[in-house]
């Protein structure tokens, strides 16, 4: 991997060679770049695979380049051909390298005549890391099978042969064939009134990176929620989802007021089955979301604020490599807070900021995050998936809140609006962002903050000691009540918790000891009936504490939570808690044996890694 070098102030466009250093891609964009992808795919549910072809339009940068190098993972390549200006196709020689565990297989295509396009006929495998196939029994309505993609970080290569690097942006079109009665959606403009005829066409006219390429198919209904938004979900879920997300147009309008026009025309949401491994995925035009957000009181809609915010930070202005992912997630988490404040009030936004900040501080204190991974711009050596931790989200947004405080909200808002406009539809590095920051915020507003402080935030581990935090009188009151409860001066049933929202319960539980006293756990449950809660955020925290306290009475309810939910963030803490004792580990393995078929491949890998580590540690 070639090292990243800082740009001189004012140099706002990186040379192509700067993007050739992506350690998580075999692509050589300094030689040739894919500018458009045309897909023609057939969804085969019985065989759990996609069959078809990908046609890549090429922009040759090096007249002497001998080949086109693409990223693949476990794809079955049937043929490769080049297409010239006249549309004539010629078979091309190609070589598929041995599989690397993380990167997959390099596909090298001999292209001595530099064709305008390259067409690859291929099929995926049932175990493709970027696809999940569900049987009807694993869906909410249990009528039709379901399939969805998760391309971030480097899993697009498992269902499309392409240059799988965030530095490379391309437009795309697609024709997808599916069984009748199955609706297909993609990260492009979708038609809620499209007949369920098995024949779908899509067009994404804006250049996007490969990790935003997305597809979903199943028993999907649609419900409009605004003039440019709709919710897609299984028929039994779509009504509840539409009510939960009825404020989508308000969220879009609030963000536009802050940071400029929404550039993607429509903002639709696909609520996936519970196996989806993340809270949300910001696929352009069609955010993929977890059903764990549907709690009935809009208390978790901030996840949608987050995915919507990506329409500016991440989708519009994209990190050029996974090392720079904080440019996506830190900026987005900051914007999320501003949207939440504008629509739902400052108190809720401050509570969410405090929860994330306290969680990050605890993880750093407990050394749960390695020193290098604590940097916003880490040194080489972190895997693409591993780069997506709480650090880019929470430390990144904390840094931006610090800038807002030092320079003033009006000044920082104007800067950020200009930043999004300046780099629109580009992929940039940390150093490119910093050069723009220095030239357009620091140099124009001297004396507000030293550049050494910026470098500490970005390049050093940990959190600076003077990092500002918002005030929350309600959280202060909860701190006092929790301390009194743990100290024995306040009974569980005397907690003033009847009016607590989701975030306040999260904060109360986050502040409990990792392994509370068993009697305290049982007192809480007897008073507040936390076992069996339908709120997955509360449930994850509650079960983790109760398991650590040794309360076997919660095990069956915890198992139901683990089986019902495949979202990594809400499931993995329970597996880790169980794995700390031999009896708990054995129970967790039994739960996993039943739940595994409904988990995404990413979740399967994560759970199996926990088991392997626990067994290794017991030897």
Tell me the pTM.
0.92
Q: Is 152 annotated as catalytic?
A: no
Residue 144 has pLDDT above 50, yes or no: yes
For 546-556, write each residue's pLDDT tens digit.
999 999 999 99
Catalytic residue of the set 307, 341, 390, 431: 307
pLDDT, mean of residues 469-478: 95
The beta strands (E) that lie in 456-508 are given as none
- Domain ranges (residues) in the chain: 27-134+145-209, 220-311, 317-459, 473-617
Catalytic residue of the set 211, 393, 419, 599: 393
User: Which residues line the annotated binding site?
Assistant: 306, 310, 329
pLDDT band at residue 14 under the 50/70/90 scheme: very low
CATH topology of domain 473-617: 1.25.40
User: Which residues line the annotated binding site for Zn(2+)?
Assistant: 306, 310, 329
Q: Radius of gyration over alpha carbons of the chain, in Å?
A: 24
Q: Which pLDDT value is given to residue 339? A: 97
397 exposure class (CB count in 10 Å sphere: 0-12, 13-18, 19+): buried
Tell me the torsion sign for CA atoms 479, 483, 489, 491: positive
pLDDT band at residue 347 under the 50/70/90 scheme: very high
Q: Is 393 annotated as catalytic?
A: yes
> What is the average pLDDT score of the chain?
94
pLDDT band at residue 618 under the 50/70/90 scheme: confident
CATH superfamily of 27-134+145-209: tricorn interacting facor f3 domain (2.60.40.1730)
pLDDT, mean of residues 475-479: 97
**In the CATH scheme, what is the code of domain 220-311?**
3.30.2010.30
508 exposure class (CB count in 10 Å sphere: 0-12, 13-18, 19+): buried
Percent above pLDDT 90 for the chain: 92
Residue 91 has pLDDT above 50, yes or no: yes
pLDDT band at residue 13 under the 50/70/90 scheme: very low
Q: How far apart are CA 593 and CA 615, in angstroms?
A: 17
For 401-452, write each residue's pLDDT tens digit.
999 999 999 999 999 999 999 999 999 999 999 999 999 999 999 999 999 9
pLDDT, mean of residues 307-318: 98
Q: Which pLDDT value is given to residue 488? A: 97
Q: Which pLDDT value is given to residue 386? A: 87
Residue 6 has pLDDT above 60, yes or no: no
* Domain covering 317-459 assigned CATH 3.40.50.720 in the classification: no
Q: How far apart are CA 543 and CA 538, in angstroms?
A: 9
């Amino acid at each position: 991997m070639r090292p990243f070098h800082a740009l001189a102030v004012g140099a706002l466009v990186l040379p192509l060679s700067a993007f050739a250093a992506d350690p998580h891609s075999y692509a050589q964009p300094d030689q040739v770049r894919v500018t458009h992808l045309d897909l023609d795919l057939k969804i085969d549910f019985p065989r759990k695979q996609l069959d078809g072809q990908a046609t890549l339009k090429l922009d040759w940068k090096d007249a002497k380049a001998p080949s086109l190098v693409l990223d693949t993972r476990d794809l079955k390549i049937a043929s490769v051909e080049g297409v010239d200006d006249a549309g004539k196709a010629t078979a091309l020689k190609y070589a598929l390298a041995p599989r690397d565990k993380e990167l997959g297989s390099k596909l090298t295509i001999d292209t001595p005549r530099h064709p305008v396009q390259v067409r690859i006929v291929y099929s995926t495998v049932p175990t493709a890391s970027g696809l999940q196939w569900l049987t009807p029994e694993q869906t909410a309505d249990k009528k039709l099978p379901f399939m969805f993609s998760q391309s971030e970080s480097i899993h697009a290569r498992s269902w499309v042969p392409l240059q799988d690097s965030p530095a490379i942006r391309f437009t795309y079109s697609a024709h997808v064939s599916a069984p009748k009665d199955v609706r297909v959606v993609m990260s492009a403009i979708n038609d809620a009134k499209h007949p369920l005829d098995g024949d779908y066409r899509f067009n994404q006219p804006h250049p996007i990176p490969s990790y935003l390429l997305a597809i979903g198919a199943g028993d999907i209904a649609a419900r409009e929620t605004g003039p440019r938004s709709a919710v897609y979900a299984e028929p039994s879920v779509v009504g509840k989802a539409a009510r939960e997300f009825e404020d989508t147009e308000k969220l879009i309008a609030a963000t536009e007021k802050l940071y400029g026009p929404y550039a993607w025309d429509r903002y639709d949401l696909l609520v996936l089955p519970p196996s989806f491994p993340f809270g949300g995925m910001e696929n352009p035009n069609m955010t993929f979301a977890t059903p764990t957000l549907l709690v009935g009181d809009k208390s978790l809609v901030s996840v949608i604020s987050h995915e919507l915010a990506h329409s500016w930070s991440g989708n519009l202005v994209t990190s050029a490599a996974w090392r720079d992912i904080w440019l996506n997630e830190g900026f987005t988490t900051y914007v999320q807070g501003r949207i939440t404040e504008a629509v739902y009030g400052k108190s809720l936004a401050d509570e969410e900021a405090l929860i994330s900040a306290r969680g990050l501080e605890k993880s750093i204190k407990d050394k749960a995050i390695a020193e290098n991974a604590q940097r916003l711009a880490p040194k080489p050596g972190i895997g693409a998936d591993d780069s997506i931790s709480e650090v880019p989200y929470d430390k990144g947004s904390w840094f931006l809140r610090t800038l807002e405080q030092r320079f003033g909200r009006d000044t920082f808002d104007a800067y950020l609006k200009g930043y999004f406009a300046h780099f629109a539809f580009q992929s940039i590095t940390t150093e490119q962002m910093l050069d723009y920051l220095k030239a357009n915020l620091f140099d124009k507003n001297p004396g507000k903050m030293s550049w050494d402080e910026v470098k500490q935030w970005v390049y050093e581990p940990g959190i600076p000691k003077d990092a500002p935090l918002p005030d929350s009188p309600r959280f202060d009151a909860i701190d006092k009540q929790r301390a009194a409860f743990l100290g024995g001066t306040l009974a569980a049933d005397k907690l003033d918790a009847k009016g607590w929202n989701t975030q306040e319960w999260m904060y109360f539980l986050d502040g409990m000891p990792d392994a509370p006293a068993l009697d305290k756990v049982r007192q809480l449950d007897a008073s507040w009936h936390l076992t069996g809660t339908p709120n997955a955020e509360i449930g994850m925290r509650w079960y983790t504490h109760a398991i650590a306290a040794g309360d076997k009475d919660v095990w069956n309810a915890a198992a139901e939570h683990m089986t019902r939910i495949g979202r990594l963030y809400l499931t993995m803490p329970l597996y880790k808690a169980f794995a700390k004792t031999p009896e708990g580990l054995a129970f967790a393995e039994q739960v996993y044996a039943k739940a595994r078929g409904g988990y995404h491949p990413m979740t399967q890998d994560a759970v199996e890694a926990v088991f392997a580590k626990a067994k290794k540690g017991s030897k």
